[in-house]
Amino acid sequence: MRVLIAMVRDRFDIVIVGAGPAGCTAAYLLAKAGFSVLLVDRGRGAGSKLLWGGKAYAQPLRDIWPELDREAPIHRWVSRDRFSFVWGDRVLTLEYKLGRKVAFTVYLPELVSWMARKAESVGATFIDEVVIDEIIVRDGVVYGVRSGNDIIRANVVVDAEGINRMLLEKLGLASKPNPYSLSLGVKEVLSLDSKLIEERFNLDKGEGLAWLVAGDITKGIPGGGFIYTMRDSISIGLVLSIGHAADMAEKGLLKEHVSSLVESFRLHPYFRVYWREADIIEYGGRMAIEGGLSYMPKKLYTNGLLVVGDAAGLLVNTGYTIRGVDTAVTSARLAAETIVEAHNKGGFTEDNLRAYEEKIKRSYIYKELVEHRGIEDVFRDQFFFTKFPALATRIGAKLFESDYEEPSMLRALLDSAREEDISILRIIYKLGRVARKL
Amino acid sequence: MRIIVGIKWVPNTQAVRFDPETGTLIRRGVPSIVNPHDLPAIELALRLRDSAGGEVIAISMAPPPAVKGLELALGMGVDLAILVTDRVYAGADTLATSYVLSHTIRKIEREYGSVDLVIFGQETIDSSTAHIPAQVASWLEWPYIYYVREARILDNKVVRVVRELEEYIEEYELETPAVLGVAMRSLKPRHVSLSNKIRARFEKKLIIWSNNDLKLDTRCVGLKGSPTIVAKTIDMPEVPRRKEVYKPRDARDAARWIISRMLEDEKLRELLQRTLWGVKS
Amino acid sequence: MSQQSRLKQLKLEELLQRDVWDVDEDRHIEVLNQEGLPIKALIILCPMGCYSMAGDKLLMSYEGCVECGTCRVLSSPDKIRWSYPRSGRGIQYRYT
Ligand SMILES: Cc1cc2nc3c(=O)[nH]c(=O)nc-3n(C[C@H](O)[C@H](O)[C@H](O)COP(=O)(O)OP(=O)(O)OC[C@H]3O[C@@H](n4cnc5c(N)ncnc54)[C@H](O)[C@@H]3O)c2cc1C
Ligand code: SF4
């Protein structure tokens, strides 16, 4: 019999749970800094459990990988942003043409696989297909992680488990999730020839479009819709407040299954012309944080533990856009910096890791989170996802659908407001509130 | 005990979809998996090793992406995994595949010592021929038992295997080396473990052999060594089910009703007459 | 290729055919006690339609689950046992 040399590796400097954008970034930076790093994910290959909208902000990623533009599996650089109000068949659309490469579209599983390969290329060990069951704490200090009967020791554990915080809840660092601070994203990927995409959306080769939609496509559930052009497919979907949708379902106000809401969005007469011959190649769902500071755990660090990305509640959801990938990457960068500094100070004690939270508070992420605090309330306000789209499209109807007269803008506004039973003062007040929050 | 377990990396057939719009099968983006019927084979190999000691070596002849499948086997606890991969092996039918696998086993014997058992899943979900275990046994001239549900090592040279056929159970004692085909779903496979995966990575337990290592005559492998000709493939369109609910008085009444309904259908009537009553139409 | 037929509403079962799972033998989600669960919400909001009623019993078929966690958020550990499939099994997203 061949004798095997027992070289069981049961100890690493750093163990990172979750190979999403946050975990992969932390693994890359820490392995590059010379630590022994174990990155673990439960999926088969990195990203196989991830679903998102489709648009990533580039600069925070370039800060880590200057080669991003050249190497990453980018589909299209977003050159146009659109926003539409929908009320029944009536639609009002605004479009903005961007002047530079700010954000790109990409499939999240592809982007995250690329990040994981980057981490492996600088020496991190990436293990997939393994669920971590517990972060072990002994005498107030993080000892390692447990998966089934296996225990792997670590000097620092980075929790990058994402929105479903099974591990943090077990540790008592996060409480049971509140359905009102979470939304459910339901999405379809439609395959469509890249030339057709460029023709129909007025795009040059390699350019992309990001399109957000508000109105009655959500059937009165607070939330909205998104459309992103990928290389040779289109991502469409709805993001719906779980707490509110559940209330409506229980009260019998919502009877349709969420998949049928997405199907109605796909088949909406205004939108379907863009993808009429497209085949659906994937369908699925995942949760997103509703926004603001409400999902942030009490503490982002303890002796030997740092929390990054969605798990730390660091997602900017302004109601018109979700930014979770760049914020996850940035929080992981700040965590990695803190770990290096703590190492130089002589240990990964709570005192030495506290700097992480301070770095977060000084970063652009936190500023965004504070500025958008309460934005959920604004967007959850019936006014914005029901009254306002109704009003906007009615004004449109007055201006463009009159057979004889040519009403003035002001006349159209006043008449519409009266017909929708909304006072002009209330509109001004509400708009002012949003302007302050955005 | 040195046990070899064969693994096939197959497209997840559940994911292949028929597009009625274009009349073609959609294979884009269909990920592969370890042939599900191989999982009980891996489990049996590991159980035998755990009780009798020794090592389990997983082998697979496949293109490079199949390392993912071998990593799963290593995660389950296999001691060594060998991917046999070479351009000249492409396009192989079961004959050419079994030829390469049997020479892989011979090479393992030369490099690591004698092999006691070779275990395969009974068949694969993508082709369902069940040829491979039997053909490997013939190349090696070792005994072969299929539909194995259980096996136990009696002493170093003898295994007792239980196989379950439709109406009876058979028990065999056979001398090693031998080849076993494991019945589908006979054993529940264990899960991947973190420490197994880490160990496999650090001890470099995944090795790759090409035809430079095996040095086989290229006329006997790959497409050239494959006499099988696929004459035609037909997609069987799904037959829509006609649901009916009938409340029978008793079993006899139920049977009578079912048969009378079947006899109403022309195609079924003919089939029934031929198979049940031996009547030629 | 006729475009019109793409433009019809697909049933959930047809949407599920677009996805790939490696289904685990072990059931990772299980209803322990349906008393007090928001049953209508679970049926309507589980994006994959894993929850359904059979008579007055709440059924959960874990095979089509995408592990999103929505039903976990809408319940509690004493009513729904919720865990992840192991060995990388479960949903295999490819594009998303
Ligand atoms: C519908 C929707 C649309 C979105 N659109 C956008 C968008 O357009 N732009 C944008 O920037 N952001 C968007 N987001 C948000 C973005 O996807 C997330 O914020 C981001 O993925 C968070 O990264 P993360 O690394 O913190 O966590 P995740 O990406 O969730 O990664 C966590 C990883 O940990 C693994 N894991 C979890 N628990 C365990 C465990 N116990 N053991 C092992 N592994 C485990 C998971 O499998 C997963 O791979 C969207 C989100 C949704 C739901
Ligand atoms: S986790 Fe999501 S997909 Fe799975 S059963 Fe619950 S709600 Fe449905």
Average the pLDDT over A5-15 and give the result. 78
Nearest-angstrom CA–CA distance, A158 and A15 = 6
Please provide the average confidence, as pLDDT, over all residues in chain B.
91
pLDDT of the residue at A3: 44
pLDDT at A6 over 50: no
Tell me: the pLDDT tens digits for C22-62?
Answer: 999 999 999 999 999 999 999 999 999 999 998 899 999 99
Nearest-angstrom CA–CA distance, A169 and B281 = 70
Q: Do A285 and C68 touch (CB under 8 A)?
A: yes
Higher per-residue pLDDT: B234 or A397: A397
Which atom of ligand 2 is nearest to C70's Cα? 7
Number of CB atoms found within 10 A of residue A403's CB: 4
Nearest-angstrom CA–CA distance, A395 and A90 = 10
Running DSSP on this structure, what letter comes out for residue C8? S
**Geometric angle at alpha carbon A155, from A152 and A159, rounded to 5°:** 75
pLDDT at A376 over 80: no
Coil, helix or strand for A194?
helix
Higher per-residue pLDDT: B187 or A380: B187
Nearest-angstrom CA–CA distance, A312 and A136 = 19
Q: How far apart are the first and last CA of chain B?
A: 57
**Geometric angle at alpha carbon A286, from A285 and A290, rounded to 5°:** 125
pLDDT of the residue at A383: 72
With cut-offs at 50, 70 and 90, classify the pLDDT of residue A381: low
With cut-offs at 50, 70 and 90, classify the pLDDT of residue B262: confident
With cut-offs at 50, 70 and 90, classify the pLDDT of residue A72: very high
Decide if A384 contacts A431 (C-beta within 8 A): no
CA B110 to ligand 2 center in whole angstroms: 51
Number of CB atoms found within 10 A of residue A225's CB: 24
Tell me: the pLDDT tens digits for B18-54?
Answer: 776 676 777 777 889 999 999 999 999 999 999 999 9
Chain centroid offset of residue B14 CA? 16
The residues on C that touch A, with CB distances below 8 Å, are 1, 3, 6-10, 12, 15-16, 18-19, 22, 38, 40-41, 43-45, 47-49, 66-70, 72-74, 76, 83-84, 86-96
Task: With residue A171 as reference, give the H or E element that holds it.
Answer: helix A166-171
Nearest-angstrom CA–CA distance, C67 and A287 = 10
Tell me: the pLDDT tens digits for A76-132?
Answer: 999 999 999 999 999 999 999 998 999 999 999 999 999 999 999 999 999 999 999
Nearest-angstrom CA–CA distance, A428 and A155 = 55
Ranges A40-44, A49-53, A407-411, B265-269: which has the least confidence: A407-411
Half-sphere exposure of C17 (CA within 13 A, CB side): 14
The total number of residues shown for chain C amounts to 96
Nearest-angstrom CA–CA distance, B75 and C88 = 11
pLDDT at A5 over 70: no
CA A279 to ligand 2 center in whole angstroms: 24
The candidate with the shortest Cα–Cα distance to A246, out of A327, A307, A181, is: A181
Decide if A217 contacts A237 (C-beta within 8 A): no
Higher per-residue pLDDT: A317 or A248: A248
pLDDT of the residue at B231: 78
pLDDT of the residue at A320: 67
Kindly list the partner chains of chain B, i.e. chains with 3 or more CB atom pairs below 8 Å: A, C
Which atom of ligand 1 is nearest to A25's Cα? 25
Tell me: the pLDDT tens digits for B66-97?
Answer: 999 999 999 999 999 999 999 999 999 999 99
Chain centroid offset of residue B165 CA? 17
The candidate with the shortest Cα–Cα distance to C20, out of B139, B51, B13, is: B13
A143 burial (CB, 10 Å; 0-12 / 13-18 / 19+) is middle
Q: Which residues contact B128 (CB under 8 A, 6 or more apart)?
A: none
pLDDT at A374 over 80: no
Q: How far apart are the first and last CA of chain C?
A: 26
The CA distances from residue A38 to A41, A128, B75, in Å, are 10, 11, 16
pLDDT of the residue at A377: 61
Token pair for residue A320? 């018109």
Average the pLDDT over B145-166 and give the result. 91
Domains, chain B: 2-220 (3.40.50.620), 237-281 (no CATH)
The candidate with the shortest Cα–Cα distance to C38, out of C66, C71, C4, is: C71
CA A310 to ligand 1 center in whole angstroms: 7
Tell me: the pLDDT tens digits for A148-158?
Answer: 999 999 999 99
Token pair for residue B271? 């089939």
Residues of A in contact with B72 (CB under 8 A): 129
C58 lines ligand 2 (CB under 6 A): no
Give the 3-state secondary structure of A323-391. ECHHHHHHHHHHHHHHHHHHHHHCCCCHHHHCHHHHHHHHCHHHHHHHHCCCHHHHHHCHHHHHHHHHH
Number of CB atoms found within 10 A of residue B46's CB: 21
Q: Do C20 and B17 touch (CB under 8 A)?
A: no
Decide if A395 contacts A319 (C-beta within 8 A): no
- The structure's pTM equals 0.91
Residues B113-136: b if buried by 16+ CB within 10 A, e if exposed: eebbbbbbbbbbbeeeebbbbbbb
pLDDT of the residue at A378: 60
pLDDT of the residue at A1: 41
Average the pLDDT over A311-327 and give the result. 88
Percent over 90 (pLDDT), chain A: 78
Please provide the average confidence, as pLDDT, over all residues in chain A.
91
Question: What are the boundaries of each domain within chain C?
Answer: 22-87
What CATH architecture is C22-87?
2-Layer Sandwich (3.30)
Number of CB atoms found within 10 A of residue A421's CB: 7
Write the single-letter amino acid at B40: P
Token pair for residue B44? 């049996």
